[in-house]
Amino acid sequence: MSRTKPRVQLDDPGPGSRWDVRRPATGLVARALVAVALLVGTTGSLAAADPPRAWVEEWPRTDFGRSSVDLAEIHSGGPPRDGIPPIDDPVFADVGDATELPLDEPVIGLSVDGDARAYPLRILIWHEITNDVVGGIPVAVTYCPLCNAAIVFDRRMDGHTLSFGTTGKLRHSDLVMYDRETESWWQQFLGEAIVGEMTGKALRVLPSRLESFGRFRERHPQGKVQVPGDPELRPYGRNPYTGYDSAVRPFLYAGHLPPDIPAMAYVVAVEGEAWTLDLVRQQRRIQSGDTVITWEPGKRSALDTAAIARGRDLGNVVVQRQTAAGSVDLPYDLTFAFVFHAFRPGAPIHR
């Protein structure tokens, strides 16, 4: 049974966190006031086609005349461009040698043509993007903590390979990425370019699993796991969003909330539908057409306690499609109800 907490404790861990807004005040109330000021300052008077002067100065190569969304929906998340630094040269260890990583901590498990790699959330919570090549395919392994959105994209587009960084901006509390080649802005949850030259393009999502390290290691005993290139760069293993996934409301979100379901309820989203994690956990197996969703215990939340290793058990979700040749993994999101509602308004949430 999940527990409730009276408020979110946003720690102040230093540079690179969304809460490192480079202001003298460090308390929770001060951070909340800064966040409100950021929201009001960017959404209160901004015309749909009129970016703030600061954006134009910071992003001279971005074509703000092309966008698929109202620019008023995009606001600062606190850090500047690449203030949350992506990883471009990831370092890996054999899974059997990664003895410091608890077996029940969450990782993004990816396997392409026999090349199996795990990306721990204890690293991605501080960097949000890892640009890598797996099985010969250039990929962007992404994680947005405010949405718990763990998504892997194929970085190839129109015959070119893109590399991604963080804009420091959010839309519907979700990470807005940018590609370094055109400096177009991309919505992480959708994998779609929303501002700039690439507007309207969509990245291909690769099937991956948000699973425990132990499950990944069992599936891929010869696999690799990402390790910090510099273990002193960030307090890896620490969660700077303490209590976030049991809060009443999301932080830095000003959109509509879903009706009849808590905003921060976990949901499993698959191809335009979602099922609450409570329902999936209760039934253990849900079948919808040829799609099968299963749940087993043993994976901790990265957004619960200050130490990820002590987070509550969210369990392992697997989503597969049944075919004549057997079951194949499908892309899915283990995200929050408010996120699914914001990006898929009107889509069903089964509970």
Q: What is the pLDDT of residue 50?
A: 84
Q: What is the pLDDT of residue 29?
A: 35
In degrees to the nearest 10, what's the CA dihedral of 44, 6, 10, 150? -80
**First and final CA of the chain: distance in angstroms?**
16
Q: How far apart are CA 327 and CA 319, in angstroms?
A: 9
Q: What pTM, to 2 d.p., does this model score?
A: 0.89
Q: What is the pLDDT of residue 199?
A: 98
Chain segment 263-304, per-residue pLDDT in tens: 999 999 998 999 999 999 999 999 999 999 999 999 999 999
Domain spans of the chain, in order of start: 241-350
Contact indicator for 338, 262 with CB cutoff of 8 Å: no
Q: What is the pLDDT of residue 262?
A: 97
The residues of the chain scoring below 70 in pLDDT are 1-49
Chain segment 112-135, per-residue pLDDT in tens: 999 999 999 999 999 999 999 999
